[in-house]
DNA sequence: TTTTTTGTTCTTTTTCATAGAAACATGATT
DNA sequence: AATCATGTTTCTATGAAAAAGAACAAAAAA
């Protein structure tokens, strides 16, 4: 996105707001619907797929194995890989949490 | 992404999972970081901007006024407009809620 | 140390959302 | 009824971003 500079403040406010909104949606049904409303189908698919990739990486699958499994290129996997390598990664924490919860 | 949203299967499972994950992130700091990790910058920008559009529409601004303000084309606004016209819209409920809360 | 496997980065190609410019619909105002 | 403002939809062209494929780097295994 490329928005005129003068709108930056407003957009930043919207950014904080939508984070807040996401935080206060209590139940899964509403969350699911909200995500369908504010994300395009391809964005949602991409998001879900990215989560799937991170899980596979987290479970120790090699990048090439994942690439073959989903018929995608390696470069697509690097992103998720980088995120999980970051020590402060929230995604990593959430994956760990999910593991212990189930 | 081009993986059809099935009603069963690993992708659907990941979909339900990530909805659950979003639901259980309690605080805004983590939510913000998580969104930065699992969405690309342009996806996040698009999402935030879409929320901004919906707010403007909700407050009664005309589509043409919004288009001029942000220097975007009208066709881009139709999406948000359609969402808000649906009486079951969660976005609409959340906008109402935000209004009464503040 | 050489070979093999795995991970990362680079360049090119493809894809997808959007702009722009209408046309058409609807609804309000006169 | 005629006019004007607004909303919706369609079309092609364009540009930004994502992805592919290949080259390169690093690490592990032999």
The 3-state DSSP class for residue A73 equals coil
Q: Show which positions of strand C are touched by protein (CB under 7 A).
A: 5-11, 16-22
Give percent above pLDDT 90 in chain A. Answer: 70
Q: Where are the domains of chain A?
A: 8-38, 41-102
| Nucleotide nearest the Cα atom of B76 (by C1') | C18
- Any idea what the Cα angle at residue B8 is, between residues B2 and B11, rounded to 5°? 40
Residue B100 or residue A63, greater confidence? A63
Tens of pLDDT, residue by residue over B52-80, are 999 999 999 999 999 999 999 998 998 88
Q: What is the mean pLDDT of chain B?
A: 87
- Average pLDDT, integer, range A74-83: 91
| Nucleotide nearest the Cα atom of B79 (by C1') | D8
Distance from A17 to chain B by nearest Cα, in Å? 9
Tens of pLDDT, residue by residue over B14-67, are 889 999 999 999 899 999 999 999 999 999 999 999 999 999 999 999 999 999
DSSP string over chain B: ------SSSHHHHHHHHHHHHHHH--SHHHHHHHHHHHS-HHHHHHHHHHHHHHHHHHTT--HHHHHHHHT--GGGTHHHHHHHHSTT-HHHHHHHHHHHH-
Residue with minimal CA–C1' distance to D10 is B75
CB of B10 lies under 7 Å from some atom of strand D? no
Does B94 score more than 60 pLDDT?
yes
């Amino acid at each position: 996105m490329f928005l005129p500079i003068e709108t930056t403040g407003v957009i930043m406010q919207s950014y904080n707001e939508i984070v807040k909104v996401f935080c206060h949606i209590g139940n899964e049904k509403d969350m699911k619907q909200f995500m369908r409303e504010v994300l395009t189908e391809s964005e949602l698919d991409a998001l879900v797929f990215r989560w799937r990739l991170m899980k596979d990486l987290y479970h120790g699958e090699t990048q090439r194995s994942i690439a073959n499994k989903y018929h995608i290129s390696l470069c697509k996997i690097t992103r998720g890989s980088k995120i999980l390598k970051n020590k402060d990664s929230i995604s990593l924490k959430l994956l760990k949490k999910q593991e212990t919860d189930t």
